[in-house]
Amino acid sequence: MNAAAPPADSRQAASEGSFKWIALGAAVLLVGMLFGSSLLLYTAYSAIAVVVVSRWLTNAWSVAPRAHRVSGPLEAEIGQVVPIEIEIQNTGKVLIPWLLAEDLLPRDALLYKVPALQIEGDRIRVISLSAGETDTIRYEIKCNRRGYYQIGPTVLETGDLMGLNRRYRVGAVPQYLLVMPRVVPLHGYDIQSRRPIGEIRMSHPLMDDPTRIVGIRQWQPGDPMRRVHWSATARTGELHSKIYEASSIAGATLVIDLHRDTNPRQHEPVRSELAITLAASISNALYQMNQPFGLVSNGRDAADRIRTEGFMTDYRTRDAATQHLKMHEVDAHLKPVCLSAQRGPVHYRDVHRMLARLEITDGLNLSQTFLEVESRLSRDTTLIVIVQKCDSGTAEVLAGFKRRGWAVTAIINTFEVDDYSKAAGPLVASGIAVMQLRDEASLAMICRALVER
């Protein structure tokens, strides 16, 4: 990819730097001419020649290299190794004595003792390219944690041998890698042994459940013969029909709290990853049972963040390129993520990808999120709310849902029993079912308990 033209302020700064050297040489030249010193004149001529030649060579070396990224897989699973390959070619007619090439990665992905992206190989190299020569940077990325990551861009740096001029530019555009969350399977559980009709009463009855009889009435023209209640007919001598209760498969709407205030930094990234893994496992189980499932979160969609921030097409300093990839410390994101409850493989793929992209944010808290999305929630699904801390506002909102007839289950994502008791107390008092997510070992047990409810 050809780098974009340098910004006006960068060109102006480079011109001012060269002008200083030329002005200095002109001053020495003037002094030599005034005092008739041949040594000063020779020095001035040499200095001006060095500056001009260095500037010309630097410009030639900076525009000659071209970088091309050989894209690897754009989606990966946790534990998968993704190969990265960048080809750099000198398209000019002169030798480039040195070229520093660095493929940038987000700083947040390289933090913690076990980083989200573990690098195997060199993503920074200093190379020398003769005219028409091509070199390749190869390294591998091991995906240790789910997320949406920007790989690149590749920043190229070169300059003259005396260090008078230096140029930076983008050589290859980035690619975006989506690492899917882990799914915990429910071993030993026969999905087809589930009840085929449903578990809860529908607030908007559309179909009757033949397994739930709530009464009988006299037969009416149009009633099918399978609805005839033969025992009542035999006792009364008149045809009677059964009255069925309408029900539906319960399904679930998964609600994940990813606000920074209720997800303490000292517990990251372990706790938020447990919450995402639990949500992915529950949605996978419901998908296999063909039950409806949806997703609500106050977290930030990493794809929206990257679309909003974009990436700069030309960097004049390495710090500018690195700083641009950093996540903003404060995010004013006020649009919650809401995927309505549906069925099918396409919807499961959308939910799974959204779970992979969710990030902790400073936007709406959970109670404010419920106010925004309540009109879009499916009334006939169970609200499964996953939180680390349950403040008074969230407890009041969940209690309100319970009083209005919603099926609500809260999962407290904490290891400490005291923290769990403190958060669960107000919820249990409101009649809300509460469970504790302690560690990875409890994931399968919680998932199985929820789908068997």
Mean pLDDT, rounded, of the chain:
81
Does 397 share its domain with 275? yes
73 and 33 both lie in a single domain: no
Does 39 reside within a domain?
A: yes
Higher pLDDT, 12 or 426: 426
* Overall domain count for the chain: 4
> Average pLDDT, stretch 13-40?
60
* 85 and 122 assigned to the same domain: yes
**Do 20 and 143 belong to one domain?**
no
Residue 192 domain flag: no
Domain that holds residue 160: 65-179
Give CA separation, 213 vs 193, 197, 208, 229, 241, in Å: 22, 13, 9, 10, 10
pLDDT score, position 46: 72
The rounded distance, in Å, linking the Cα atoms of 155 and 46 is 33
The whole-angstrom separation of Cα 255 and Cα 406 is 14
pLDDT tens digit string along 89-114?
999 988 999 999 999 998 889 888 88
pLDDT at 322 > cutoff 60: no
Do 208 and 125 lie in one domain? The reply is no
Partner residues linked to 66 by β-bridges:
89
**Per-residue pLDDT, 1:** 38
pLDDT in tens, 241-295: 888 765 555 689 999 999 999 999 888 899 999 999 999 999 998 898 888 999 9
Q: What is the pLDDT of residues 116-150, one digit of tens each?
A: 999 999 999 999 999 999 999 999 999 999 999 99
* Global confidence as pTM: 0.76
Task: Answer yes or no: do 106 and 225 share one domain.
Answer: no
Give the model's confidence band at 36: pLDDT under 50 very low, under 70 low, under 90 confident, else very high. low
Q: Are residues 48 and 99 in contact, defined by beta-carbon separation less than 8 angstroms?
A: no
Q: What are phi and psi of 104, to 5 degrees?
A: -80, 145
Rounded CA separation 297/338 (Å): 7
